[in-house]
Structure 1
Amino acid sequence: MRRDVTSALSLAASGPARLVLSVAVADKERAEEALVVTQDGRELEVNELRDARGTRLHTCDVKKGSVDVSYRATVRGQSEPAPVTDMDLIEYLRPSRYCESDTLTPTAVAEAGGRSGLDLVSHIGSWVGTELAYISGSSRPTDGAAETYMTRRGVCRDFAHLVVAMLRAMDVPARLVSVYAPGLSPMDFHAVAEALVDGEWWAVDATTLAPRQSMVRIATGRDAADTAFLTTIGEPLNLESMEVTATVDSLPSDDVREFVRLS
């Protein structure tokens, strides 16, 4: 399987700032890639960091003016299964900023109906997909899973947050992953959940908007606070435009009843 992905950001910096970008694919070994940041026609120095969850972050210092970010990658084959650590069994069971599993515990217990393991994971993914309406622009950046449950609408990150919170409430470690998603329409960065069952991480996409088999991992974390594609430190910065593309040589079909690992 070959995936070709790109992302392009046009930014306006009001003064000196540091950009923290999370647009590069996580598995560098299988990617042919290029990341370029320019300002006033000059290419800027970009430094790479890797966080404890395996996410590749790129930092760059800019001054006042227009900034352009361009990333492209060709990814071939499939990654090894995501590793499992002892910390995963603690960190991804705790409530987090956007996944208030403690608040949603009574709801999760009632909805679980005695289910456990992969049966529970499948049921919660289907339940969230049925209960929520996907409406672009319907949620605020500060909304968490509890607010999503109350309003019953949102975008991909809201669907993923509710899945994660409900599973954690039932003692299933769960986390959020940002991905490039061939087949997604409209095209954008996409967010899905991962659940840890029987020693393996399984992808859950309650939106069912793109096949999980061809998704490419970008960032992994407790919730959207850990997976933002852009963070700025310093003076304010405006996102003027953004374009994301993701294609695959042969788009697979995705049976929601099957359990799939992310690439």
Structure 2
Amino acid sequence: MQRTVSSHLSIDVTEPATLVLEIAVAQDYLDAGAATEKLTIRGEAGEFAPAEILAQHGTRVHVVEAPVGALTIDYSATISGRIEPAPVTQWDVLRYIRPSRYCESDVLAPTALAEFRDVPHEELLADVSSWVGTRLSYVPGSSLPTDGATAALLSRKGVCRDYSHLVVSLLRALDVPARVVGVYAPGIDPMDFHAVAEAYIDGGWHVVDATTLGPRQSFVRMATGDDATDIAFLSIHHGRATVTDQRVTATVDELPHDDITRLVAIG
């Protein structure tokens, strides 16, 4: 399997700002020798060399101190083959059963128990995925950046981050460790940065995508964490800036068939 991903951002900086990017593929792909990549950041005075920070679970954070003016960010990567599944630590297993800012598993516990208390272990991920997929309608622009899983369920609509927050919340309420992953996703429509859930079951992390917009086997990990706070592709601090153009592409040499009843790891 060969996957090619890219992203382009045009940003208008009106006050000097710190831009925090999470658009690069995770460090595990580089460590395995599976990825080649290029990141170019250009301002009106020339190219910038961002600082790179290695965060949790191989997430790579690029920090740009951007002056006033137009800025363009272009990233591309080619991933050949697949890598080993994400490692598991005892702390992760404990950490990811706790509620978080956008995944209110404590609030949604009665719903989770009422719907899934008697679901056999081997069917749980598929059942939660199907339940969320039938309760929510995918409507671009329908949710606010401050909305969490509870708001998504009440409104019955959202985008990928809302689907993943609801899946994660329900699983955590059932004491299944779960987290949110930002991915490049060949096959999805509309094409964009994509958010999915990842659950710890049967000794490993397995991806759950209740949107069913694309095959899970083709996903490429970028950032991983508690919820949307940890996987934002762009954060703007200490100034003002506006995204004026955003384009994402993700392709695979052969789009695989996905069966949501099977366990699939991101790799």
TM-score, normalised by the number of residues in structure 1 = 0.98
* Match in the other structure for 1:194: 198
1:112 aligns with 2:116: yes
SS in 1 for 2:93: helix
Distance in structure 2 (CA, Å) of the matches to 1:14 and 1:91: 39
Summarize the alignment of residues 45-124 of structure 1 with structure 2, pairs less than 5 Å apart: 45-124=49-128
Q: Deviations over 1:97-155 (max 9, x none)?
A: 00000000000000104225332222111110111111111111110001111111101
**RMSD value over aligned CA atoms?**
1.0
8 A contact 2:192–2:249 mirrored in 1: yes
- Measured after TM superposition, the shift of residue 87 of structure 1 is 1.1
- Asked whether the equivalents of residues 56 and 225 of structure 2 are also in contact (C-alpha less than 8 Å), the reply is no
Superposed CA deviations along residues 25-84 of structure 1, whole A, max 9, x for unmatched, are 012231110001110050011121111222011111111111100000001111111100
Aligned partner of residue 42 in structure 2, secondary structure: strand
Q: Say how many residue pairs are matched.
A: 263
The CA distance in 1 between the partners of 2:178 and 2:121, in whole Å, is 12
Instruction: Give the aligned partner of residue 42 of structure 2.
Output: 38
Distance 1:251 1:55, change over 3 A: same
Alignment map for 1:189-228 (pairs within 5 Å): 189-228=193-232
Q: In the aligned structure 2, how far is the partner of 1:190 from the partner of 1:60?
A: 23
2:260 counterpart residue number: 256
> 1:91 and 1:45 mapped to 2: Cα distance?
34
**Which residue of structure 1 aligns with residue 164 of structure 2?**
160
Answering whether residue 143 of structure 2 is matched by residue 139 of structure 1, we say: yes
What is the percent sequence identity of the aligned residues?
52
Structure 1 unaligned residues grouped into runs of 5+: none
Letter paired with 2:49:
E
Q: Which runs of 5+ in 2 are unaligned?
A: none
Structure 2 equivalent of residue 6 of structure 1: 6
Q: What secondary structure, in the 3-state scheme, does the structure 2 residue paired with 1:53 have?
A: helix
**TM-score, normalization: structure 2?**
0.96
| CA positional deviation for 1:17 | 1.4
Q: What is the CA–CA distance in structure 2 between the aligned matches of 1:259 and 1:87, rounded to whole Å? A: 22
Query: 2 CA distance for matches of 1:255 and 1:6?
Result: 26
Equivalence for 2:178 = 174
Write the distance in 1 (CA, Å) between the matches of 2:216 and 2:138.
18
- Once residues 177 and 108 of structure 1 are traced to their aligned partners in structure 2, the CA distance between those partners, rounded to angstroms, is 21
Which residue does 2:243 correspond to in 1? 239
Shift of 1:255: 1.2
CA distance in 2, matches of 1:209, 1:20: 27
